[in-house]
Structure 1
Amino acid sequence: MESFTETLEVVDLGNRIRIELTDGTVFEGPASPIDYVPDDRFRLEIEPRHEEIRRCEVSAECVDGEWTTPEVRHFSLGDDDWTVVGEADNIDIVR
């Protein structure tokens, strides 16, 4: 299994991404946009095919050489702001 940063180094816009949370929840969809700065931060949004959820994001920062636990949040129809839904356990490019 690749680390988050190893996956982010090779992901391209439009790649189908699968994000699994620590509670087993899974979000999957095309990547758009990607913000990855090695040894600093990453933020990846996907557009999951879900009736209510419009955007899903996983992000983390590098602090003192260590990555923070990747946090996942989503934006749903009717929401005024993003909702934190948990911590990411895994990220994969679906081939």
Structure 2
Amino acid sequence: MDRATLQVEIAAMIARDIGTDVAVVTAESSLRDLGVDSLTAVSLCMGIERQYQVQIFEPTLSRDLRVGEIVAVTLAALERRHVVDDMRPAVQAPRPRTG
């Protein structure tokens, strides 16, 4: 996934969660500037984890982070997930028993 697409998707998630127009949510906006409280920040983190099947630890997603930084953290988590997936051995079908 490229950064621009992820930016649009995360901005839409934030806008939906706080009930505002997506145009208000820019890469430079901090969660605090957008009026995100602590509970909403945790909910947002969980939503990102669920949507992209990654792990982002809640303390990482502080209200002082800017949307662009959240995108970067998510992108890094996606890249880590792909590296781990690529390192897993392919599952081979069991060989039939002979004899």
Q: TM-score, normalised by structure 2?
A: 0.26
- Bigger helix fraction: 2
- Bigger strand fraction: 1
Structure of greater Rg: 2
Q: TM-score, normalised by structure 1?
A: 0.26
